[in-house]
Structure 1
């Protein structure tokens, strides 16, 4: 997912260089949304992993 965000970011940079402002803004917006979704999923996964390892430590 982070890879998709980077791809859209690169598309936004290239579109901005060639003067396609609308396309650049759209690609940048998609990249920003994908980045935040990736960050949220990463944090949820981290919390679940920490909770699971704490539960395993208590049961041993």
Structure 2
């Protein structure tokens, strides 16, 4: 769990910062650099949560 927290804490902070910059009401938000990074970080977070059994 320590390893999960070590990776998740900065990732979740980055996700929060990106979420403040993204206009999720726009259909093209995923095509922006911020949207692409947000999607990548969310995928990584999901994979870590599954691996940690959360």
The TM-score normalised by the length of structure 1 is 0.44
Look at both structures and tell me which one has the larger radius of gyration over its CA atoms: 1
The TM-score normalised by the length of structure 2 is 0.49
Q: Which has the higher contact order (CA 8 A, sep 6+)?
A: 2
User: Which structure's residues are more often helix, by fraction?
Assistant: 1
